[in-house]
Amino acid sequence: MKSQCRWIACKYATKDFILDDEAYFALTKYQMPGNNVFYSNNLATSPPEYKFQFQKKFQPKVIFYVVVLNAGVSQPYFMPSGLAINQNVYQNECLLKILMPFIKKYLGNGNYIFWPDKA
């Protein structure tokens, strides 16, 4: 890995790198560590609404998308999530509305490398 990073850094030393990434955040306590359990010294007297809580198979989430480069960080983009970000959302919402204006604002000279999600 280090040799590949060195090769990229040497080959593109005069260019700015643009990285983008998205993350998913749960909106419920069930997927947040530490919030999915309860403690009691007497289970017999604990109310059932605390002992037994139904969960949806797919909990609601929010997608967070951001672009990072040497000049700074873009405005974040938030949206309610389905199961994953699809190509239409990535292209229309992330690339066209967030990435392209950010590139034009800070790197109008075209001297950059776009490394999408480090893929």
Mean pLDDT across the stretch 29-44?
66
Both structure tokens of 113? 């490398």
The reply to whether 89 falls in a domain is: yes
Q: Are 88 and 25 in contact (CB under 8 A)?
A: no
The reply to whether 40 falls in a domain is: no
pTM passes above 0.75: no
The reply to whether 92 falls in a domain is: yes
The reply to whether 107 falls in a domain is: yes
CA-wise closest residue to 115 among 67, 56, 58, 45? 67
pLDDT in tens, 9-34: 888 888 888 888 888 877 766 555 55
- Which residues constitute the domain of residue 68? 15-32+58-116
The reply to whether 77 falls in a domain is: yes
Q: Are 65 and 22 in contact (CB under 8 A)?
A: yes
The reply to whether 19 falls in a domain is: yes
The reply to whether 102 falls in a domain is: yes
Number of domains in the chain: 1
The reply to whether 109 falls in a domain is: yes
pLDDT range class, residue 110, cuts 50, 70, 90: confident
